[in-house]
Structure 1
Amino acid sequence: MTETVDRALMIPNELLIFSAVIAVLILLAAIRQVNWSAIQAHRAAQHMFWGSVLVVSVFWYLRAGIQPGIEFHILGYTALTLMMGWQLALLAAFFVQLLMLLAGKFIWQELAYQYVFFSALPVMFSYGFYLLVYRRMTHNPFVYILVAGFFNAGFTHAFTDIIRSALLLVMELYTPDILWRDYLRYLPLMMFPEGVVNGMFITGMVVFHPRWLSTFDEDSYFR
């Protein structure tokens, strides 16, 4: 916990304030876009939401790292985004970070910072990748699973790691040599399991519960 506090104190106050403002705007936008009447009418959707928060939180809790702020773990946000859509995924990601705060992974001043850069941005990147695949590639389940699921998850993980490295570098918490030696050179090793975990989940959902995937249009993909 001491290392967490020390790292938080090194994050500029301007960045923490900026993160807080952006986090509020993101959450307000997501809340306004959610169809709350549909969520209230379907108890299964509520169970799916909170169950997903808990599962992804386990991935985030079981993190490992050589240096403070340099972390290795499965994100799980691509599966979350494809299942819920960007609106609910952004809200679920906030609760994931809130649980990490309660678990003592960081202090409360870091909540918005952690959410914006390592949750909201990955969710939006993942959804943007999905939209690109949907608009530019053939509509069939194989493309959805492999490209929008597996490859999307891997690239989302790479995007998140690059964002983390850039922030640590700009704040001068680590040198480029340390970031490469202890973090970025392992990027391919983390992209693959991220893709496998998310891809396996998406495969199971497409086969057994395609209607639970808000981004999967059966009429479009099975025609």
Structure 2
Amino acid sequence: MNLPALLIDSDWLWLANLVFVYALFRALRSAPWRAILNNRQMVNALVGLTIGAFIFWQFNAGIRPGFNFHVLGATLFVLLFGWQVATAMISLVMVATWFRMDLDWVALGLNGLLMIAIPVLFSEWLLRFSQRNLPKNLFLFVLWNGFVCAGLAILLNVVATTLLLLALSHYSWGEIQRHYLIAAPIILLTEAFMTGMLITAFTVFQPEAVLNFNDQEYLDGK
């Protein structure tokens, strides 16, 4: 969902910009750039997926301002490159999308919090939870962190956006239901399927490109 500035009071938009800039600064500063740049497979995957994410971000469907959907890719980027690089590269995709579509720059931070910070940090938390509490198993890694986590991340994004629209915009609950929530299951399933499919392909055919997957831990002796 790309929320236009006209829906939200400017004070909230500038506050969101400050919070998002801080989150982006933390991500850029702590990202494992050296480990990724020294891995040719990861570099190729990062470039290819960033271009792919930009293309998918251009295909969004919606009826009214703010009521549109597109694939985010947050969970996939977290599994492959960690939350810091995921935040940085999806932010780059969002900025490029804003340039191409000539959207309201003052709304960049709010959209960044909804479409990047929330799903990325949730995916990172769920990944750490599974690493601590679930068996190291390829099937669980793909099913739980790929399919399930991606779907839950979109669900969290939808819930946060709905609450924000109810609290700060002029849209009523009925309008949100008819024009936004009715399409949420479609994008949820799409995101879950694409993330699960791609992370399965990477872990099976190119595990060295997945920062958060170790084939010795998940495959040896299984």
Q: TM-score, normalised by structure 1?
A: 0.90
Correspondence for 1:68 among 65, 68, 73: 65
Check if 1:166 corresponds to 2:163.
yes
**1:36-185 superposed matches below 5 A:** 36-42=33-39, 44-104=41-101, 106-185=103-182
Give the residue type in structure 2 aligned to 1:27: L
Higher relative contact order (CA 8 A, sep 6+): 2
**Helix, strand or coil for the counterpart of 1:214?**
coil
CA distance in 1, matches of 2:36, 2:195: 24
Correspondence for 1:196 among 193, 196, 200: 193
**Helix, strand or coil for the counterpart of 2:61?**
coil
Moved more, 104-113 or 15-24: 104-113
* Cα offset, 1:39, TM superposition: 4.1
CA distance in 2, matches of 1:166, 1:105: 26
CA distance in 1, matches of 2:102, 2:70: 13
**Helix, strand or coil for the counterpart of 2:89?**
helix
Q: Is the 8 A contact 2:126 2:145 kept in 1?
A: yes
Consecutive unaligned residues of structure 2, counting only runs of 5 or more, are none
Identity of counterpart residues, as a percentage?
29
Check if 1:24 corresponds to 2:21.
yes
User: Closer, same or farther in 2 for the Cα pair 1:8/1:222, shift >3 Å?
Assistant: same
Q: TM-score, normalised by structure 2?
A: 0.91
Give the residue type in structure 2 aligned to 1:91: A
- Please give the root-mean-square deviation of Cα atoms over the aligned residues, in Å: 1.9
**Helix, strand or coil for the counterpart of 1:103?**
helix
* Cα offset, 1:175, TM superposition: 0.5
Give the residue type in structure 1 aligned to 2:111: Q
* Cα offset, 1:44, TM superposition: 4.7
**Helix, strand or coil for the counterpart of 1:59?**
helix
CA distance in 2, matches of 1:106, 1:155: 28
Give the residue type in structure 2 aligned to 1:144: F
* Cα offset, 1:215, TM superposition: 0.9
